[in-house]
Amino acid sequence: MDGFSYYNIFETKGMEYLIIITFLALLIPFSIILNRKVKIRRQLRKAMGILNTGMLKIPQGVFHSRNHTWAHLLKSGVANVGLDDLLLHITGEVNINCLKKPGESIAKGEVMTEIDHEGRHLKIFSPISGTITGANTGLADNPGILNEDPYGSGWIYKIRPSDWKADTSSYYFAEAATDWSKRELEKFRDFLAATMPKYSPESSMIALQDGGELRDHLLPELPEGVWQDFQKVFLNPGYRWDNERELRKV
Amino acid sequence: MSENYPVTIDNDGKSIWKFLLSELKPKGKIFTPFNIISVPIVILGLVLIVIRFWKGIGSITNLTQDVPWGLWIGFDVVTGVAFAGGAYVLTFMVYILNMKKYHSIVRVTVLNGFLAYVFYAGALLLDLGRPWNVINPIIGNNFGVNSVLFLVAWHFLLYMIAQLIEFSPAIAEWLGAKRIHKILSGMTIAAVIFGITLSTLHQSGLGALYLMAKEKIHPLWYSEFIPIMFFVSSIFAGLSMVIFEGSVSHKVFSKQISNEDHHAQTGIIMGLSKICAGAMFAYFFLQVLVFIHEKHWDLLNTPMGYWYLLEMLGFVLLPMMLFYFSYRRSNILLIRIAAILTMLGIILNRLNVTVIGFRWDAAVHYIPSWMEVAVTLTVIFTEIWIFRWVINRMPVLRDAPSWAKKQE
Amino acid sequence: MSINRRGFFKVLGITGAAMAIGRDLKAAPYRNGEIEFRGVLYDSARCKGCRGCEYDCADANGLPLPEPAKDLPPIRKTSEIKRTVVNEYNTSKGKVFVKMQCMHCNEPACVAACLTQAMHKTKAGPVIWRGDKCMGCRYCMVSCPFDVPKFEYHSPNPKIQKCDMCYNRLKTGEMPACAANCPNEALFYGTRRQLISEARKRIVENPKLYVDYLYGEREAGGTCWLYLSPVSFKELGMKTNLHKASYPALTKGFLYSVPTIFVLFPALLAGIHQATRSDNTNKED
């Protein structure tokens, strides 16, 4: 740049633009491949039997109540009700005992069924009020359907609702249900951390594997005391649990 | 509500040409006030454009050898592109930051941005002396890589393509093309990322165009930071335009908009005003910083100095305070006034750098001729016509058809 | 005054040498294998304002001949039909003339501005306009610190008009039209190196005649058209507030940040997008 002969300060600009084009072209496959691995990890975890939100089936058209029951209004005006997938993953395969018969009426918050596993039971409360028009008798013979298809053929009762809108107004729907399930899983983790030391200090080891992952179908391996606390915290209507200190008071 | 406008027809069995032809027929009233005003001006503008090509640019403009860029570049291109900045800000907020609240206005903003770029790039062709050579920098005769204008021109082109891809799912829904819709929706995020990068560079690039005119622009407006100033101000310029245009569209096309979207409008405007207030706060302090750095205190006490203070205090500081207070008091009317003031401020700023402050010391001051103004209005009105045509036919303001939603 | 034989040969020799130096591009002196810039040194002290250069320029470039002396407005600028003008100024030292035309900068702003490379800095020095590439965007006019390029606003096929140092004549070995026939040797054509040393020599030999400043040595990073003057350049209406470094360097910072942003932003934006994605459990199934 002596001022006496030709000098181009922008000599390399053409090359630079070519490098940019190459970069952008490579960035697309690079980021696609980078993100694809995450899916494989999730599938691995599912295969190893680790409980995570990736494995939950949460259909979008169904109302979820806080007590892990769901209700879905059909076009005929009758609603199906049942247990949600998260609860069934926690409890594993259970036997179901329908307490109500068709023709009877039921109120929201009334006990509608009991599920039990080797003597330990949990009471399930109805999400809506109305008249029972049908009960799924097939579940008694083949309880596995509950876990396989909790929202479809695993329905528990058909109820003609008396006040659908009022009953479901505070329930979770669609994406909100997905977010809520994630939070419930976290809540379950905290719940375990709070209760396990009370009942059996060593068994806290069973719940968590390396890396702090929860195992699938965990509840059957835990002591009776945990089942009772689980009932209070997760299934009883009206219970609000915001932190573990509350639970220690229970 | 939405019954007045047909849901997108799945035109299997109906030929695409018949469909497109039927879509060309006008919908709605013919003699609206807007039509009555805009049609004569557009016709006048077209006549003027013919004269421009027949007799040269000087026949309808007041451009001089000292001031080669006037209203068409300073207003149509530079200011118009600043206002189209809403597209990249909103797509950033919705697709990158995942702020779902603003999802309902993304499509109309991207449409606006796309049309703005197409029409202002088109207006640029009118300003070129030899428009048939415009393909030269594109095909390589030559690639003037040393030029900021080369960069800006290429970015305009690429950005239009990116915006078209972002908007194309709406076109696919209008045509009922399901498979193409799926492919195009998958490309959205890549187009958004590309578009935001391009926008950053060409918004600042428009400012960088003037970097070499160091002694030719009034010192109060010239600094090495012009590109950054243009970029930051494009953020709130675009959002103010979104607020303004959103208010107008909601009234004009209110039949198409669902109840939820009507209610959501208030929340959206409040959110946007908050962002504007923040951006303008930062911008104001940037200007103060540059002013202190350049040490032009003595220039404040001149006519141009008063003009500068008017722009900064009256059209940046004042609307910023208005946005701030009206957000705190949830006053939608004040927010709209603030948006209009901001837009005037942006017009003022861009014109100050490109036309008013450019060769402010020239013997003959440049004042645009009425013919330049007429052609500018022609471009703007034609753009609004196309905008209206699209809104009335494609699912931009109203909800997408159910098959499209299921694909997501 | 009589001239003796020695003096005669001395003058002949110097004239011959001067003419040989200002000869042609082909037999031009090279430095380190590179061709050097050529330019013109304009000496206001020698210029008598005959405006012959204006006529020669118009003639060589097919432009209309300039107005006769009696019809002249006081100060003229170059225009789309005048590539050069000679203006007369009444200064502190009497009448001084100044010839205005393109300065043929070392690193021209117009060349950096032109997106089609229609404005082209030739390796030999002159800055030329190539009409087959130009799209008439007039960005060169916006960027030029000397306001040199002029546009044919009233033509449907407009050209940019500016002095090109008669590049076509230079290629065949001739001098620029204005320099070839200047009767008072006010225009001196040579390599830029020669111009600068000649100018410095004149200033040293005639300190009372010239202001000690060579205009164009560093203005805009150096130009190939240099000026000597008996009075301050401000009195001659020339721009004295210009930046003494190249104008394209002002855009260099911006242009170099472009590739950087092109790399950083997509990576950053893609990363933020991944981080803020809400986990849609449906998608995993």
Q: How do residues A113-135 score in pLDDT, each as one tens digit? A: 888 877 778 888 888 888 888 88
CATH number at residue C138: 3.30.70.20
Q: What is the CATH number of domain A49-250?
A: 2.40.50.100
Q: Nearest-CA distance from C170 to chain A in Å?
A: 17
Q: Where are the alpha helices (DSSP H) in C94-209?
A: 109-113, 139-143, 167-171, 177-180, 192-205
Pick from B111-115, B141-145, B390-394, C67-71 the range whose average pLDDT is largest. Answer: B111-115
pLDDT of residue C72: 81
B368-387: pLDDT as tens digits: 999 999 999 999 999 999 99
Name the pairing type of β-strands C187-191 and C150-151.
unpaired
C22 occurs within a structural domain: no
Least Cα distance to C267 among B155, B187, B195, A24 occurs for A24
Element (H, E) at C226: strand C225-228
Q: Contact, B63 vs B366, CB < 8 A?
A: yes
Q: Is the Cβ of A13 closer than 8 Å to some Cβ of chain C?
A: yes
pLDDT at C37 over 50: yes
pLDDT at C13 over 50: no
- For residue B163, give Cα distances in angstroms to B75, B173, B180: 22, 16, 16
Proportion of chain B above pLDDT 90, given as a percent? 61
B57-66, B127-136, C27-36: the lowest-pLDDT one: C27-36
Tokens of A61: 């058209």
B4-37: pLDDT as tens digits: 334 344 445 566 777 777 777 777 677 777 888 8
Buried b or exposed e, range C98-113, using 16+ CB within 10 angstroms: bbbbbbbbbbbbbbbb
pLDDT of residue A145: 79
pLDDT at C18 over 50: no
Other C-beta atoms lying within 10 Å of the C-beta of residue B364? 11
Average pLDDT value for chain B: 88
What three-state secondary structure class fits B31?
coil
User: For testing the chain A interface, which of C269, C272, C281, C282 should be mutated: the one with the most A CBs within 10 Å?
Assistant: C281
pLDDT of residue A159: 85
pLDDT at A245 over 90: no
Other C-beta atoms lying within 10 Å of the C-beta of residue B337? 15
C278 occurs within a structural domain: no
Least Cα distance to B208 among B281, B134, B155, B256 occurs for B155
pLDDT at A87 over 90: no
3-class secondary structure per residue, B164-228: HHHHHHHHHHHHCCHHHHHHHHHHHHHHHHHHHHHHHHHHHHHHHCCCCCCCCECCCCCCCCHHH
Least Cα distance to C158 among B383, B271, A55, B132 occurs for B132
CA dist., res. B334 & res. B325, Å (int): 9
User: For testing the chain A interface, which of C224, C274, C284 should be mutated: the one with the most A CBs within 10 Å?
Assistant: C284
A62-66, B216-220, B286-290, B334-338: the lowest-pLDDT one: A62-66
Contact B145 A13 (CB under 8 A): yes
3-class secondary structure per residue, chain A: CCCCECCCCCCCHHHHHHHHHHHHHHHHHHHHHHHHHHHHHHHHHHHCCEECHHHCCCCCCCEECCCCEEEEECCCCCEEEEECHHHHHHHCCCEEEECCCCCCEECCCCEEEEEEECCEEEEEECCCCEEEEEECCHHHHCCHHHHHCCCCCCCCEEEEECCHHHHHCCCEECHHHHHHHHHHHHHHHHHHHHHHHHHCHHHHHHHECHHHCEECCCHHHCCHHHHHHHHHHHHCCCCCCCCHHHHHHC
C159 occurs within a structural domain: yes
C122-151: pLDDT as tens digits: 999 999 999 999 999 999 999 999 999 999
Q: Where are the alpha helices (DSSP H) in C45-123?
A: 52-61, 109-113
What total number of domains does chain C contain? 1
| Residues of chain A with C-beta less than 8 angstroms from the C-beta of C278 | 175, 179
What's the pTM value of the predicted model, to 2 decimals? 0.75
Residue whose entry in the numeric block shows the structure tokens 């008009």: C161
pLDDT of residue B314: 93
pLDDT of residue C284: 39
Least Cα distance to A111 among A153, A54, A67 occurs for A67
pLDDT of residue B1: 33
CA dist., res. A42 & res. A45, Å (int): 5
Q: Is the Cβ of A17 closer than 8 Å to some Cβ of chain B?
A: yes
Of B146, B190, B194, the CB nearest to A10: B146
C251-275: pLDDT as tens digits: 999 998 999 999 999 999 999 998 8
**pLDDT level of residue C23 (50, 70, 90 thresholds):** very low
**pLDDT level of residue C106 (50, 70, 90 thresholds):** very high
Q: Is the Cβ of C244 closer than 8 Å to some Cβ of chain A?
A: no
Residue whose entry in the numeric block shows the structure tokens 């990363």: C271
| Residues of chain B with C-beta less than 8 angstroms from the C-beta of A9 | 146
Q: Is the Cβ of A57 closer than 8 Å to some Cβ of chain C?
A: yes
pLDDT of residue A242: 58
| Smallest CA–CA distance from A10 into chain B, residue | B146
Q: Nearest-CA distance from C79 to chain B in Å?
A: 8
pLDDT at B210 over 90: yes
DSSP string, B154-165: HHHHHHHHHHHH
pLDDT at C158 over 90: yes
B118-127: pLDDT as tens digits: 998 888 888 9
B31-79: pLDDT as tens digits: 777 888 888 999 999 999 999 999 989 999 999 999 999 999 999 999 9
pLDDT at A170 over 50: yes
Listed in sequence order, the residues at least 6 apart from C149 whose beta carbon sits closer than 8 Å to its beta carbon are C102, C110, C119, C129, C138, C140, C141, C160, C161, C162
Q: Nearest-CA distance from A82 to chain C in Å?
A: 20
Element (H, E) at C187: strand C187-191
pLDDT of residue B362: 86
A203-242: pLDDT as tens digits: 555 555 545 566 777 777 777 777 788 888 787 776 666 5
Contact A10 B145 (CB under 8 A): yes
C13 occurs within a structural domain: no
CA dist., res. B357 & res. B349, Å (int): 10
A60-64, A79-83, B233-237: the lowest-pLDDT one: A60-64
| B–C CB contacts, 8 A cutoff, strictly below | 167
A36-53: pLDDT as tens digits: 766 666 666 666 666 666
A19-33, A221-235, B97-111, B205-219: the lowest-pLDDT one: A221-235
| Residues of chain C with C-beta less than 8 angstroms from the C-beta of A178 | 280-282
CA dist., res. B193 & res. C254, Å (int): 21
pLDDT average, residue stretch C219-237: 93
Q: Nearest-CA distance from B145 to chain A in Å?
A: 6
Q: Write down the domain spans for chain A.
A: 13-47, 49-250
pLDDT of residue B260: 76
Contact C265 B193 (CB under 8 A): yes
A179-188, A198-207, C43-52, C229-238: the lowest-pLDDT one: A198-207
C49-87: pLDDT as tens digits: 999 999 999 999 999 998 888 878 888 999 999 999 999
Buried b or exposed e, range C131-165, using 16+ CB within 10 angstroms: eebbbbbbbbbbbbbbbbbbbbbebeebbbbbbbb
| Smallest CA–CA distance from A24 into chain B, residue | B194
pLDDT at C8 over 60: no
B211-229: pLDDT as tens digits: 999 999 999 999 999 999 9
Average pLDDT value for chain C: 86
C75 occurs within a structural domain: yes
**pLDDT level of residue A105 (50, 70, 90 thresholds):** confident
- Domain containing residue C173: 38-248
Q: Write down the domain spans for chain B.
A: 31-268+367-407
Prior bond of B142 cis (ω within 30°): yes
**pLDDT level of residue A30 (50, 70, 90 thresholds):** confident
B248-302: pLDDT as tens digits: 888 888 877 777 777 788 889 999 999 999 999 999 999 999 999 988 898 889 9
